[in-house]
Chains A and B, each alone.
Chain A
């Protein structure tokens, strides 16, 4: 594989993969927050 193809692939797939993964994690965390909402009484624990 030549450097040009390698570089472009890394930029596109690397940046795209990172942001998609982090976006997916942010969605999952949003879901977790809804599934396990914060209760005030937790503060005392």
Chain B
């Protein structure tokens, strides 16, 4: 009987005994994510469930990520199948007004240039010794687009999913801090003062309805491996612009997006088991993610300068920084920086155009990357 009591008591302290040194560290990291989300308001919709998922999975013996564990079930249902990021994309499409982009289609090019950091970081990761598919997952942090990063990394480098996701969302929220020094360094005061005038409303409803269809068909034919990403964001946008399925549009941008965000966040947090997360590799992924965002900004601004020259000085290069996606923070940063140097400058709608171009660009870059990988026989 005494032995039974001792065994029973041991059951109550088994959790403490089984703690690995990394578990308390990760619980601390989870608390930090919760602090950033709750107290600082940084991406709270994601950081709160990610932080809590991180805490849950680092409590030993609960088996939440073992077979039949509830976090494993959610992960297998939505991340392993790639469904969660795709559902989020329908919501993003339903929320996004591509009007400012369609007003000036040249701005599509800024959305492309803002993705160059993906490919340059991929090359850098390869040079640092990462495998091909790991480098692809790391490079895609440069898409500045959480669902794209999750989609690609969960498919081709699931062991990096947590690091890539945390890097993608953290750096997206840090865009207002990361971008301004780069924008200032690469542009002259005269360039920052360029007034682009008001955006005129020149896009018909028919064009707005045809836009998602054209992008889906043309983009899908060029990069079929990325069609799930392209197709879902464009489906959401078609529902929005058609105006005839407002119930579906509202459900996509509210209920579906909210439920999936919760499940996505907690699933990502659940991949942050200290034994796998606290490695030098994670640190390198975080560093490379930062480099990717910086390179995106550099390429976007430099392409903005090129457009300025080609347009005879009518384009303010600052809006190039908004081509990185990270919607809508990057557009707001361009607006704020422009107004610092010319208070009469209203770049917001132009920057929104570049920013939505960046959204299409990030999805297109990922789609192109996957199709090139398929073409080379890597996947």
A residues adjacent to B (C-beta < 8 A): 1, 3, 6-11, 13-15, 17-19, 21-30, 32-33, 36-39, 42-43, 45
**Chain B interface SS verdict (over half):** helix
A-side contacts of B115, CB under 8 Å: 18
Contacts beyond the supplied A1-B377, A10-B123, A21-B112: 5 A-B pairs with Cβ under 8 Å: A22-B108, A25-B215, A29-B214, A33-B204, A33-B207
State in angstroms the CA–CA spacing of A27 and B80 once bound together: 37
B222 (CB) vs chain A CBs: closest residue: A21
A-side contacts of B214, CB under 8 Å: 25, 28-29, 32
Given contact pairs A15-B116, A32-B210, A23 touches B204 in the complex (Cβ within 8 A): no
Q: Do B126 and A6 touch (CB < 8 A)?
A: yes
Please give the distance in Å from B378's CB to the nearest CB on chain A.
7
Contact with A18, one of B106, B207, B365, B373 (Cβ below 8 angstroms): B365
A-side contacts of B360, CB under 8 Å: 22, 25
Please give the distance in Å from A2's CB to the nearest CB on chain B.
10
Say whether B120 faces chain A, with CB atoms less than 8 Å apart. yes
Given contact pairs A6-B378, A18-B115, A24-B218, A36 touches B204 in the complex (Cβ within 8 A): yes
B-side contacts of A21, CB under 8 Å: 112, 218-219, 222-223, 364, 368
A-side contacts of B105, CB under 8 Å: 25-27, 29-30, 33
B-side contacts of A1, CB under 8 Å: 376-378
A5 (CB) vs chain B CBs: closest residue: B376
The contact sample of 11 A-B pairs, CB cut-off 8 A, is A10-B369, A11-B122, A22-B109, A25-B108, A25-B218, A26-B105, A29-B102, A29-B207, A32-B211, A36-B207, A42-B205
Q: Do A17 and B203 touch (CB < 8 A)?
A: no
Q: Do B372 and A9 touch (CB < 8 A)?
A: yes
Please give the distance in Å from B191's CB to the nearest CB on chain A.
22
A-side contacts of B9, CB under 8 Å: none
Given contact pairs A10-B369, A11-B123, A22 touches B205 in the complex (Cβ within 8 A): no
A16 (CB) vs chain B CBs: closest residue: B368
Q: Do B211 and A7 touch (CB < 8 A)?
A: no
Complex interface bits, B122-157 against A, C-beta within 8 A gives 1, otherwise 0:
110011000010011000000000000000000000
